Structure 1
């Protein structure tokens, strides 16, 4: 009988849960399947590619494991991930972490992720899956950790009025589900729900009328799906990284008028956190905003930039993502 996903959708902490393997080298195995477009509870493990933001966030959490206990005052400062192979939802990720530099106030860690060459026969994934033959490195992350600096903050506040009445309405009235056009004529694909996270996509067709490239915008608003998420500070940072990869390629599609594409996927994704963890906490009452745009598309690649704002209008994080984005018929303009 094929291995099934858990009957109940996992929480975010469960979805990113890691089990340490032995003592040296420092290795971890994921226990729950990575999110895929067709992820569904109590269904066979998906044969589809996994959501790239899952490996990105889980690698950040893996990098945190060797820091959180010995250096609890060091929190995620920046993460830069590179996808080198497609990830799959029907087998675990095996993460290997190493420390590149460690001082009293700063640490730099590297994480590589591989997967077994064959699907898992159990879910949650058993530690014995880590003994199977491993495929090539699928994802590489460098992640820095920094001690909080004292002093007042400064910076621009998010301008809600920029988008007229779109963000003044009840935000839970915006669509929960997002449908993307699949590659190679596969029709529409609905993004699966994120664990513990309620994400909505405001309709910006009126705002974007006639705007292309840098002027074109996409917004996501997100909050905890229930209560307040009591997560470790570095896992909380990983949550925002998890959201940040949502529908990034769709930004390029609309910003440059691309109707269809062949091969596509993220090449690398960088996130820089600007605030301390307490300013990133999520609950089910207030909404964070991700504001996305693109300044470049061409030569088979596209750049996706985003700013992630707290409910008080403070800039929480900035992301830059470079994606492989090949048009089926012609180059991007």
Structure 2
């Protein structure tokens, strides 16, 4: 069973992302215990549930244990084990500190008694910085605005996904140096987040979306192939075969709207569609890519809406030793920096002969 308690009907007064992230408080056991109200999504081909959902639900749980005048400003997370979408998640919030200006919480997400995810969060009291402050912020780059009614496909969720996105061309994509490239997209929660959700719902939605194609930045700037077919070699496919079949059935214009798929991906899908044997190709291919940790610094946390377009820009300063590091900045539509994120993950290439890696 994927939830501890039978899920209630979807609440039409809430946005899709609010329903996805809904928590049930287990007050009869412990007021600091929560569980997922609805099943968590397991992306096809992924090792476990979508990490953004666990990040966001940990934040939602912690926000329910602090005073309304305290707001999240940072969270530092570690992915410990892959989450199983068939098992309920139990979130335990620990009150680490109750200060006048700052409060600290840790949250552990557990399945069958094992920790699958842990995070430490710091909350700050509103207006605790004083009347005179040190202030500066980086500027949002000039990019084409989002186009209403022309959303990218949130593949494989499609129109059913809880948020929308529109990709922007990779900056410096022709450079031979991956570290100077920047991947960019517009994102927003689908529909309107309910007034009852308050700023907390917008922050949880932002946390959910922050994990979208994050560590995948490294594959994109290196132009690594991620979509192989079992018939294109003896090695196991790096993506679910059903997803690959859907990709192969799409026309080129539809493929261009799928976030994470670039021109070199489309070219190889075209070749697979034409029945070419790609088993002898030597181009590097992703063998394993999974997040290890995830950090979010929230700026101006009450001055944005996650159901309005936000611009994200990602770059990777380093990759090596089977890992990679990615930085992400998130801006509101009007150019205000609202979050800075960091993620490190395992990024291993398929090895042609050694299957022990």
Give the TM-score normalised by structure 1: 0.75
Q: Given the alignment of the two structures, is residue 233 of structure 1 paired with residue 232 of structure 2, yes or no?
A: no
2:152 corresponds to 1:175: yes
Q: Which runs of 5+ in 1 are unaligned?
A: 39-45, 116-133, 179-189
Greater mean alpha carbon deviation, residues 212-221 or residues 140-149: 212-221
For residues 41-62 of structure 1, what are the alpha-carbon distances to aligned partners after superposition, in whole Å with 9 as ceiling and x for unaligned?
A: xxxxx99721011101111111
Give yes or no for the alignment of 1:74 onto 2:98. no
For residue 121 of structure 2, the aligned residue among 122, 133, 143 is: 143
- What CA distance in whole angstroms lies between the structure 2 residues aligned with 1:175 and 1:193? 9
CA contact (8 A) 2:215 2:343 kept: no
The within-5 A match list for 1:128-277 is 134-148=112-126, 149-151=129-131, 153-160=135-142, 163=143, 167-168=144-145, 170=147, 172-173=149-150, 175-178=152-155, 190=156, 196-204=162-170, 207-210=172-175, 212-227=177-192, 229-230=194-195, 231-259=197-225, 260-277=285-302
* Alignment partner, residue 126 of structure 1: none
The number of aligned residues is 282
Deviation at 1:175, TM superposition (A): 2.3
**Structure-2 separation of matches of 1:222 and 1:242:** 11
Larger Rg: 2
Partners of 1:308 and 1:31 lie apart in 2 by 28
* SS in structure 1 of the partner of residue 104 of structure 2: strand
Q: Deviations over 1:21-73 (max 9, x none)?
A: 225372111111112225xxxxxxx9972101110111111111211xxx110
Q: 2:306 aligns with which of 282, 289, 292?
A: 282
* Cα RMSD, aligned residues only: 3.0
Displacement after TM superposition at 1:19 (Å):
1.6
Q: What SS class does the counterpart of residue 206 from structure 2 fall into?
A: helix
CA distance in 1, matches of 2:39, 2:116: 15
Q: 1:169 to 1:101 in 2, by over 3 A?
A: closer
8 Å contact kept, 2:16–2:191 = no
Matched position secondary structure for 1:66: coil
CA–CA separation in structure 1 for the residues paired with 2:83 and 2:89: 8
Residue number in structure 1 paired with 2:84: 88
